[in-house]
Structure formats: C-alpha cells, structure tokens
Structure 1
Amino acid sequence: MPGIVIVGVQWGDEGKGKATDLLGERTDWVVKFNGGNNAGHTVVIGDEKYALHLLPSGILSPGVTPVIGNGVVVDLEVLFNELEALNARGLDTSRLKISANAHIITQYHRTLDKVTERFLGKRMIGTTGRGIGPAYADKINRVGIRVQDLFDENILRQKVEGALDQKNHLLVKVFNRRAITVDEIVEDLLAYAERVRPMVSDTSLLLNDALDAGDVVVFEGGQATMLDVDHGTYPFVTSSSATAGGAATGSGVGPNRLDRIVGIVKAYTTRVGSGPFPTELFDESGDWLRSRGFEFGTTTGRPRRVGWYDAPITRYATRINGI
C-alpha cells in the first residue's frame, strides 16, 4: 500500500502530524497537498517539541523526502524562517522538494486578508490573517503568482502588475490603505529566487516515479474535512480541499494511486475561528478539556473552542473521504 492519505475528520487539530510521524520509519515520502501556514503540526521527538506550519511533518524524519505539493500556497518568508529554525537545531532539511506549480503568498495577500476580515465585523470568517484565502482566490481568478515565476523577472513583473491593478483600487478606495507598488513586491519575491531554486522541481513526476518504484508515499492533509471548501461548514471553511480527494489534485497523482485513506479523530472535538459547532461546551467541562488537552492553536496561539465528541460528523467525514 504505497499511497497513504492522512486526513482529519473533524475541524482540525486531531493529531495528523503525530500520525504521520508514527509512520516515519515505514515512509519514504511525505507530501503536503493543501493549505499553507494557516495550519500547524506539533510533533514531539524525545524531549524536543517542533511546531511546523508550512513544512510537512515528514521533514523531521531521517531518510524521508518532504514535498510541498502544487495545491499548497507558499509564504516564502515563513518557509525560510522554519527551515532556518530547524537547521539551527541540527536537523537536515536539504531533501525538501517544492512544486514549481505551487502558488506564492505575497504581501498584498496578507494585507487584504487582514483588512477584509476586519471589514466583515460580526460576519467575519475567523481566518488566521496570513493571506491564504486571497492567494487561493487569485489562483482561481488566474492572476496568481507561482513558484516558477520567480525565475523570470519579466513574467513575474507582468503578473504582479496584473494582480495589483484591481487590488490597489480596493485598498485605496474601500479600505483607505496605501497603494502597493509593483517594484516592492517584485523586489521582495526576487530576493528568495536563488535560495528556493534548488528545492523546486516537477514534484508530480517525482511522486509518480516514487509510487512506480514501490516507495511509501504519505499524503498529509492540512486542516480537516469539516473545513474543506466544498464539504465543510461553508462559509466558515478554509480555501482549499482538505479531504482525501484533495490529495490527488494537490499533488499531481491519480486517484488510483491512493491505496489507503486514514482518518484521524480526537476523543472530543475542537475548532478554531467562527462557525457552527453543535457539541461546543461553555462550562467547566469545556475549560477542563481545553486545559487538559493544551488546546491552543499551534499557528495562532488562540484558545480552541472545545466540545464533546460528535459522532454524526465523524460518520459524514468517513463517507466523504472513503475512510
């Protein structure tokens, strides 16, 4: 069973990173196929605790090749901050591969995310403010910046100009913010080009070749089923496909290469941000669960909402993912 997908069946924070780590000795590749640095995995190895946001948890396993797939949106600043932090702790991150087709989160994505959320007021979604949603919106609107664009300044500049044309009108006329210049964005992105170049490749080809060779490839989902843009509690969802089906589109392998779907569920339920939560607890039991389970966001540090185990959503997620 070389192709294994690990997904969360609740609203995230079920322990997917720990499950991936447990498979570490039997795994050759670990692929992050959706999301960005809005998710967080906490992995404990011995006495060391590692909090990962953008990187796949497989980067901590010796001999495993970690992959950031085409379905991920990449904040280059976060990427290199995480890599430098791991290198400083003596970990080898040289095996990391990044899809040339992955989209990049820029300064204007982060700005728009924050001002739009504040503008919504009581109707806010509860985003992390890290530019994930706007980056995915640009991807769907076909004005996104991809990793491969970093290696041709003319193409990069044209794409940034196209993306900023409408966004600056929105920032200035609606949100009363300053316009963002093309030069500052291009300069910022080009500063990472040569550093990221050795990591970039056709990861779809690499993964299909690995599966053909009989390697064990683990596809690690960010967020969880109930946050999936199609099947979650819309509109209080993330902007990507967090279900098992997203593993194929977000990594460039065919669905028939996914041999096993593993769903991770907690004995109780948590979620971060706004949206429905039928079993949520507001009493001492909820406070006890939050304290006992250390239920604070790996990425945001926000206290998670806590509730009883929810069997109906587990049954629903089982059906949606084919667990």
Structure 2
Amino acid sequence: MNHNIVILGSQWGDEGKGKIVDFLTDKANAVVRFQGGHNAGHTLVINGEVTKLRLIPSGILHDGVMSFIGNGVVVSLEALSSEMNELLARGVPVFDRLRISEACPIVLPVHVALDNAREAALGDQKIGTTKRGIGPAYEDKVARRAIRIGDLRAPQNLKQKLKTLLNLHNFTLKEYYKVEDQFDVEETYQQLLEYAKTILPMINDVSAELNAIRKKGGKIIFEGAQGTLLDIDHGTYPYVTSSNTISGTVASGAGFGPCYLDAVIGITKAYTTRVGSGAYPTELDDEVGEHLGVKGCEFGTVTGRKRRTGWLDLVALRRAIEINSITSICLTKLDVLDGLKELKVCVAYELDGEQVEYPPYDNADYVRCTPVYEVLSGWEGESVFDKRKWNDLPAAARSYVGFVEKKLGISVDIVSTGPERSQNVIVKDVF
C-alpha cells in the first residue's frame, strides 16, 4: 500500500496535474505544494464548476483534508490573499484547511518589476517567464536576503531587512534597467503588515505537521508545479523555471525525508505542449497542431497565453522517468486525440546524423534535434471522451496506451478521458 505519493508533470507543464491531485485527494489526509509560486496554474472542473488555483494545493476543496504550502514555495501575499478570498466567497473554509511554512520566501512587488525589466531587456532572447517575480524571489532566497513568511512575526526586524533589500533592487532597477519607478520602504512595510493579519494564523511548522501525519499512518500527496523539463537543473536551460520541479525536491521543499516516499506518479499529456521559449522538437505548426490547441483548450491558466502544441515525445519522457524515479504514468487528455486519422509518437531524436535516445542538456544542441517518429492508427470516428472502463476505450486508443507502456517500460495506471474530476479510466489504484 502506498501512503505518500508525489504527483508531478513529466513534460513542460500543463499536463493536468491539478485534476488528478483533486481526484486522488478523496483518499488522502493532506496535499502539499513543495516548489514554484503563483506562476503555476491548476484548473479543476467539478460538476461543471471551474476552479483555478495558483498557490493553494488542489486538495483545498475536500472536507477533512489539510493543504500545506511548503518552504520550497515562493509566496506572493497579494496572489495568496486574492485566491483565498475567491475560495472563501464560495464557502471553502480556507483558514481551517490551509497551513503555510514560515520558511517560505515572499514575492514582493519589486520582484515583479525586476522580472518585467529583465524580460524587456532580453528582447527576442527573453525566457518567456510569467512576469510574476518568481525568479528574482528565488535569487533573494539563495543570496540569503529574502523576506520570509516568518519575518511577519517580528515587525521590529522586518523593516530593516526590507530597507536593505529594496535599496539594492531600487538601485538595480534605476541604474541598470533605467526604470524610474522606485519602491518605498514604508509603503511596502505597511502592505506586509496588513497581509500579516490574515496570514499569521496559518503559519506553522509544515515539516513537523507532515511527519506527524506520516507517523499516524496518514496518506499525503505532494503536488508538483510546472513540469520536469522546466527544472532549473534538468530542463532546457535557460528556458526553464527558477525552481527544481523534480521529485527529489519534495525532501528539501517540504522537509519530508525521501525514504518516506512510496510512489511517484508522472502526469503525462497524450501529446505535448509548451509555453514560452526553448527547444521543442515535436512542435506542430499545422492543422494537427491547431486541432490539439483548440480541442485541448491549450491556454495558460495563469497567463492565458496560447501553448505550443506537438506530438508525444518519448525521448523527453524517458529522461523524466529516470530523474524522478517515476513508478507509473497517468495519461491525460487522451480525448483530445479524438478525430485524428493517424498519430505520431517521437521515439528518438536525430542529432548531427546520429540517433539519440536522451535529450541533450544544452538548449543550443536541443534545438538542432529532429524527431524520429513511429506512426500509429488513430480512432477517427470513435471517441474516448467520458469513458470510465478500459474495455470501453476504442481498440486503437488502447493500442496507443500500450505502445507508450512498451516503449517506456512503465505502466499507465490512470487514463484521463475528459476535464471533469470523474472522467477517468482507473487501470490500477495508485494508493
């Protein structure tokens, strides 16, 4: 029996993690975010009602389940407050269900300004960030100058820390980026104190609480943000996010020992999408790509940006499986492939006249990779939408899933057949 499960994206993000976390939370005692910030967007559809979450874990809608924001998450108090208010307006008892680590760095308005200034300065070479200030906030964390959630408890020390931080960033904005807008220490300080009134009751030792649940035999889901191929170390650098998105980050981002984890579920879209710049060998700029984008509603939850679309890439997935120690796959959005006569799957790359089975780490090499495809039959005229049993899927759809399993040497335990929480084929209970 699995008690502690990591659920993360195995591609470039937007794989449908939120839906699967929400679905599996029925069997969990706690759900934990362990990295990223409000640049992550998880969309839940429950009985036709859409809920969009950015910072708060996808388990927040469940009675009797605690939601935790671990120390590896950078927290915008403005975004968190807005998200909480949306949920409170719907009757969700957020204060009872949510706990936040005192070690979380705070994303300040100056971080957003820095993010925007950097992207503008890069021009055509921009990273394609969400411009939410995530990168600059992580930089302050690593430089050991971050304002953290716990600092809200000591307002007498907070102002001096804030003054030091803002002096540095104001100087950078004005002298390097030529941005005239400056951030006032007193104004920012008062904003933080106002947010503290709401946030302080939810601050807790998240690591201790999680381990207490573990010792009692409870079940915990660790919810990843973004995707493996956006990992700061293992992604298509520099076109990546500013945190580690892989399963190993659970230990550092939540204070939960790696030997306590029982399974890692790789959420994998039945095709591939990407937002922002960077290598993308299977990208389609044709009618099929348009089909995937329209039918899959491929627009960012946070930014609304149109996602790039392409065929399923097993080369990239192979890397994701190994660096995450993924134990099984949940294949999402299989229904988006409805209506296609044939399907292509990338099984290798060709680089400088040679076939490679792993993606290169250098983005300049990665962009020169061309996909080697195998062609499979689609299930044109049939549909997987809303199917709940394996044998109810079209034969070609079952063959597609089987092909992925065989090529990757890993089982597909869940197949998502629509956006609703309940629209899944459960091949094996991951708990």
- Which TM-score band (shorter chain)? over 0.9
CA shift at 1:123, angstroms? 1.2
Greater fraction of residues in strand: 2
CA distance in 2: counterparts of 1:191 and 1:89, whole angstroms: 23
Mark the runs of 5 or more structure 2 residues left unpaired by the alignment: 327-431
2:112 pairs with 92, 105, 110, which one?
110
Residues in 1 aligned to 2:106 and 2:3: alpha-carbon distance in whole angstroms = 30
- Structure 1 or 2, whichever has the larger Rg, is 2
Alignment-mate amino acid for residue 254 of structure 1: G
User: Deviations along 1:246-296, whole A, 9 cap, x unmatched?
Assistant: 111100011111111110101100011111111001111111110000000
Who is 1:9 aligned against? 10
Counterpart check, 1:218 vs 2:239: no
Partner in structure 1 of residue 323 of structure 2: 320
How far 1:179 moved relative to its partner?
2.5
Q: Deviations over 1:70-122 (max 9, x none)?
A: 00000111111111111111222121000010110001001111111111111
Distance 1:167 1:36 in 2: 20
Letter of the aligned partner of 2:175 in structure 1? K
- TM-score normalized by the length of structure 2: 0.74
Output the amino acid matched with 1:101.
A
Pick one of 237, 240, 243 that aligns with 2:240. Answer: 237
The reply to whether residue 32 of structure 1 matches residue 33 of structure 2 is yes
Aligned counterpart, 2:353? none
Other structure's SS at 1:243 match = coil
Partner of 1:98: helix, strand, or coil?
A: strand
Distance 1:244 1:48 in 2: 30
Which of 302, 305, 315 is equivalent to 1:302? 305
Distance in 1 of aligned mates of 2:156 and 2:124 = 42
* Aligned alpha-carbon RMSD (Å): 0.9
**Residue number in structure 2 paired with 1:251:** 254
> Paired residue for 2:49?
48
1:167-316 correspondence to structure 2 within 5 Å:
167-176=169-178, 177-316=180-319
In 1, the alpha carbon distance for the partners of 2:221 and 2:172 equals 41
Q: What are the Cα deviations for residues 18-63 of structure 1, in whole angstroms up to 9, with x where unaligned?
A: 1111112101000000001001000111121101111110111221
Q: How does 1:146-161 map to 2 (within 5 A)?
A: 146-161=148-163
Offset at 1:175?
A: 2.1
Q: For 1:191, what is the secondary structure of its paired residue? A: helix
Following the alignment from structure 2 to structure 1, what is the Cα–Cα distance between the partners of residues 310 and 25? 31
Aligned to 1:119: 121
What's the secondary structure of 2:312's corresponding residue? Answer: coil
Letter in 2 for 1:250: G
Structure 1 moving runs of 4+ over 6 Å = none
Identical aligned pairs, as a percentage? 50
What secondary structure is seen at the aligned counterpart in 1 of 2:298? Answer: coil
| Pairs aligned (count) | 323
Q: How high is the TM-score relative to the length of structure 1?
A: 0.98
Deviation, 1:183, is 1.1
| Aligned partner of residue 45 in structure 2, secondary structure | strand
Cα contact 2:25–2:221 (8 A) shared by 1: no
Whether the aligned pair in 1 keeps the contact of 2:9 and 2:228 (CA below 8 Å) is yes
* Residue-by-residue CA offset, 1:152-201 (whole Å, 9 max, x unaligned): 11221121122122211111112222322211211111111121111000
CA distance, structure 2, for counterparts of residue 282 and residue 199 of structure 1:
47
Alignment of 1:53-72 (within 5 A): 53-72=54-73
